[in-house]
C-alpha cells in the first residue's frame, strides 16, 4: 500500500510559552523523533522499555548523570545552527510548535529548525553536538553517514511533516571547521516500516500497558534500565524459580563463560609464546638495532631501537632546570628502553 503524501501536519500545541513539565506531558501523548531509535532497540541512550515506562509516567528518564552534556547541547544549538547557515548559505528558521501526523496521531515532531531551500521547498535541520572522539560515528568504512539512531529521528520527522529532506549539523570542536554536515532524503519503504514498528509499540505496548522485551545488544544499557525501574533491592526476597525458557539464558551464560576461559587461556599461551619468540629474535640480533630478511614470500624488517626519557627525582628540580641548567644536569638520570616492532612487506614482483 502506497503512502499518502498529500497531507499537512497538524499542530498539537504551540510550544513558545510552554513550561518544560507541560512540554513533557505533551510528549507523552505520542512518540517523538528522538523516541524512534529506542522503539527500534538501537538507541545508545535508553531501551525500548525505558521509553515505555516514560510514556506511562512510571519511571522517567534519569538525566542527572549526563545533565552537563544535555545543557551544553541546548546552549550551543543556536551557534551550531548559525554555523550551518554560514557554511551552506541556506536560510533557516524556527517554528515553535509540536506537530502531529494527521493519520497517525501518536507520531509527534518538535523540530530544531526548518530550512528554506532555493527551489521553494522546505527541509528539516537537526542540531547535534558531540566530542572529538565520537565524531568518527559520522563515518563508516571511509564513507560519510548519519548514525543510525539519528537517522531514525530524521525519518520520523519527515513522515510527520511530509517533507523530503533532513540536514544534520554536528559540532565536535570549538571552531566552524569542526562541524559535520550531512543530509538524508526521504525513503518511503523505510518510512512505512518505521511507522509500522512505532504503531506496534504504541498500540501493543504503551496503550496495552505491556512492557516490551529487552532486545538491545548492550547489556550495560539493559542493566542501567533495570536499576532505574527496580529501585532498592530486597535482600530478604524469596528466590525466583526460573522457567525452562529462563534457565536457557543461564545455560548460555555458562557456555559463554567457558568459552571466555578458553579464549583467555589461549590468549595467555599466545602472549607467552610471542614473548619467547621476541627474546630469541633479540638474541639473534645481538647488539644491532635492526635485522632484515627477504625471500620469495616477502621481506621482514625487525627493529629494536632505543628510546630515552628523563627521570626527575623531585618536583623542585623543575625549578632548578630553569634557574641553573648546569646544575640541573647533575641531578638527572637517563634511562634507556627499546621498542620492538616487526614490519612485513609485500613480496616483490617477479
* C-alpha span between 302 and 291 (Å, rounded): 5
What is the helix, strand, coil percentage profile of the chain, to 5? Answer: 45, 25, 30
| Dihedral pair phi/psi, residue 343, rounded to 5° | -115, 125
> For 133-157, what is each residue's pLDDT tens digit?
888 999 999 899 999 999 999 999 9
- pLDDT at residue 167 greater than cutoff 60: yes
Nearest to 338 by CA among 311, 307, 292, 301: 307
Q: What pLDDT sits at residue 120? A: 96
Nearest to 103 by CA among 245, 206, 198, 240: 198
* C-alpha span between 184 and 168 (Å, rounded): 9
Q: What pLDDT sits at residue 227? A: 86
106 alpha-carbon distance from chain centroid:
27
- pLDDT at residue 340 greater than cutoff 60: no
| Dihedral pair phi/psi, residue 75, rounded to 5° | -70, -35
- Identify the three-state secondary structure at position 67: helix
Nearest to 167 by CA among 120, 129, 112, 119: 112
- pLDDT at residue 314 greater than cutoff 60: no
- Identify the three-state secondary structure at position 297: coil
pLDDT: which is higher, 20 or 192: 192
According to DSSP, residue 107 is labeled B
Percent pLDDT > 70 in the chain is 88
Using pLDDT thresholds of 50, 70 and 90, give the confidence band for residue 105: very high
- pLDDT at residue 64 greater than cutoff 60: no
- pLDDT at residue 1 greater than cutoff 80: no
Burial label for 88, CB within 10 Å (0-12, 13-18, 19+), is middle
276 alpha-carbon distance from chain centroid:
40
Burial label for 64, CB within 10 Å (0-12, 13-18, 19+), is exposed
Handedness of CA 33, 59, 39, 222 (dihedral sign): positive
Cα torsion for 262, 265, 267, 272, to the nearest 10°? -160
As a whole number, mean pLDDT of residues 63-77 equals 71
* All three cell numbers of 111: 523540530
Q: What is the mean pLDDT of the chain?
A: 88
pLDDT: which is higher, 347 or 296: 296
- Identify the three-state secondary structure at position 128: strand
Using pLDDT thresholds of 50, 70 and 90, give the confidence band for residue 262: very high
> For 203-218, what is each residue's pLDDT tens digit?
999 999 999 999 999 9
Name the strand (E) or helix (H) holding 304.
Answer: strand 298-312
Those residues whose C-beta lies under 8 Å from the C-beta of residue 150, and which sit 6 or more positions away, are 37, 126, 128, 168
* All three cell numbers of 185: 532524503
Contacts 24+ apart (CB under 8 A), 220-229: 221/44, 221/46, 221/47, 222/47, 225/46, 225/47, 225/49, 225/50, 228/50, 228/53, 228/59, 228/62, 229/49, 229/53, 229/58, 229/59
According to DSSP, residue 93 is labeled E
221 alpha-carbon distance from chain centroid:
12
Q: What pLDDT sits at residue 155? A: 98
Count of residues in the chain? 350
* C-alpha span between 276 and 325 (Å, rounded): 43
Q: pTM for the complete prediction?
A: 0.76
Amino acid at each position: 500500500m502506497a503512502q499518502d503524501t498529500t497531507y499537512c501536519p497538524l499542530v498539537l500545541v504551540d510550544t513558545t510559552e510552554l513550561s518544560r513539565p507541560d512540554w513533557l506531558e505533551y510528549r507523552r501523548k505520542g512518540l517523538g523523533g528522538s523516541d524512534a531509535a529506542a522503539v527500534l532497540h538501537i538507541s545508545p541512550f535508553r531501551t525500548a522499555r525505558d521509553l515505555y515506562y516514560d510514556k506511562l509516567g512510571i519511571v522517567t528518564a534519569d538525566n542527572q548523570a549526563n545533565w552537563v552534556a544535555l545543557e551544553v547541547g541546548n546552549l550551543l544549538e543556536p551557534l551550531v545552527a548559525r554555523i550551518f547557515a554560514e557554511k551552506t548559505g541556506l536560510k533557516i528558521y524556527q517554528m515553535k510548535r509540536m506537530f502531529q501526523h494527521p493519520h497517525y496521531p501518536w507520531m509527534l515532531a518538535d523540530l530544531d529548525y526548518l530550512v528554506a531551500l532555493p527551489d521553494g521547498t522546505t527541509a528539516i535541520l537537526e542540531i547535534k553536538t558531540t566530542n572529538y572522539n565520537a565524531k568518527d560515528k559520522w563515518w563508516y568504512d571511509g564513507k560519510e553517514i548519519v548514525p543510525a539512531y539519528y537517522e531514525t529521528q530524521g525519518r520520523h520527522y519527515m513522515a510527520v511533516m511530509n517533507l523530503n529532506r533532513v540536514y544534520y549539523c554536528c559540532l565536535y570542536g570549538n571552531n566552524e571547521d569542526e562541524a559535520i554536515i550531512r543530509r538524508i532524503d526521504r525513503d518511503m519503504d523505510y518510512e512505512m516500516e518505521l511507522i509500522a514498528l512505532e504503531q506496534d509499540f504504541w498500540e501493543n505496548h504503551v496503550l496495552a500497558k505491556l512492557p516490551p522485551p529487552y532486545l538491545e545488544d548492550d547489556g550495560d544499557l539493559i542493566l542501567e534500565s533495570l536499576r532505574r525501574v527496580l529501585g532498592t533491592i530486597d535482600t530478604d526476597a524469596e528466590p525466583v524459580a526460573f522457567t525452562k525458557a529462563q534457565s536457557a539464558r543461564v545455560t548460555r551464560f555458562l557456555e559463554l563463560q567457558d568459552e571466555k576461559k578458553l579464549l583467555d587461556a589461549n590468549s595467555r599461551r599466545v602472549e607467552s609464546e610471542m614473548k619467547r619468540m621476541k627474546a630469541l629474535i633479540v638474541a639473534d640480533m645481538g647488539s644491532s638495532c635492526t635485522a632484515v630478511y627477504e625471500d620469495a614470500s616477502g621481506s621482514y624488517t625487525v627493529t629494536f631501537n632505543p628510546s630515552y626519557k628523563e627521570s626527575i627525582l623531585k618536583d623542585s628540580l623543575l625549578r632548578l632546570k630553569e634557574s641553573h641548567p648546569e646544575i640541573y644536569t647533575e641531578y638527572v638520570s637517563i634511562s634507556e628502553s627499546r621498542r620492538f616492532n616487526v614490519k612485513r612487506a609485500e613480496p616483490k614482483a617477479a
